[in-house]
Amino acid sequence: MLLLGIETSCDDTATAVVRDGRTVLADVSTNQDAFHAKFGGIVPEIASRQHLALLSAAVEDALERAEVSLPMLDGIAVTAGPGLVGSLVIGVASAKALAFASGKPLYAVNHLHGHLFAPFIETGVEPEYPFLALLVSGGHSQLVHVASPTDLRIVARTRDDAAGEAFDKTARLLGLPFPGGPEIDRLARTGDPKAIAFPRHRAEKGALDMSFSGIKTAVKYFLDTPEGNAAKTADVAASFQAAVVDVLIDRLDRATALAPYRAAVLSGGVAANSALQAAFLAWSERSGIPGHVPHRRFCTDNAAMIAAAADRQGAAALADARTLAANPNLPFAFAHVA
């Protein structure tokens, strides 16, 4: 299939044209960091207004770069949720209008499902089921059992902050610019990850849940001490990052000891973190479970992953262009969203 993907769940206005869920013919994405930086985080109203201003041009740009026209498409895939309601409404309304006007099928995709299939875009690798996905982003930290494109089950999640949220909050404590996650990654490369022994969340035996608020709080209290005032910012960043990565890798060990998996996937915005990628690939080699990581540009929110998920979920993701509604709290378990 040749699909147009549209992704506007948060602050990235993204469109893509993808063939057969693997080959990207065009990938267009505009971030809004400059609009949100002075607020230290994403302002939903600003995000939705920027989507409204940019999306039509982004669709035209993707089609032009792919050298295809709307009639040549086999369908349109859009993120239906979860996400910021104002942002989702812009993407869903645009996709519905395009589908209704062209008569093309409309596919409604769960944003998180898109992340699960991002590692298989432009890699020549196909998913081996069942696989275990470590999905780590600003809003989510989950372990997902993926038995098929439409049989997906969360087996663990964070109790409080998501890992990406902890990165951003810690970056603010360190006085780093927004977005904070990439800044911590950059700074940590020159720091000592063993300089400060920040706590790791150790779940009960057999448990898989995660927690990252304690690590963030530990950084806050450490910075208020004389030792913290004298510490190098790079060492604090590296030590914090190491603590988060240790928790995530520990949960991979626990999950794969409880159930057999043919592969493992690292996905979500935090998958772009260099230390986490290195630790994940080292874990893959040690465990003997093939590990897959997306190309860097497909780690963060993008439309190619939405088209890729729609291609694999097929008829199960079909939606009615007259009735589809954006759902900021769309359930993770696969369900018909028309």
For the chain, the structural domain boundaries read: 2-117+298-319, 129-294
Cα–Cα distances (Å) from 91 to 81, 107, 262, in that order, read 10, 12, 35
Whether 20 has a pLDDT exceeding 90, the answer reads yes
Burial of 225 (0-12, 13-18, 19+ CB in 10 A): exposed
Question: What pLDDT score does 30 carry?
Answer: 86
SS3 percent helix, strand, coil of the chain, rounded to 5, is 45, 20, 35
pLDDT at 335: 54
CATH architecture of 2-117+298-319: 2-Layer Sandwich (3.30)
> CATH number of the domain at 129-294, out of 3.30.750.210, 3.40.50.10540, 1.10.3720.10, 3.30.420.40?
3.30.420.40
Q: Is the dihedral of CA 308, 311, 317, 322 positive or negative?
A: positive
Distance CA 84, CA 328 (A): 6
2-117+298-319 and 129-294 have identical folds = yes
pLDDT score of 274 more than 60: yes
Digit-coded pLDDT (tens) for 156-211:
999 999 999 999 999 999 999 888 999 999 999 999 999 999 999 988 888 899 99
Return the amino acid letter for 244. Answer: V
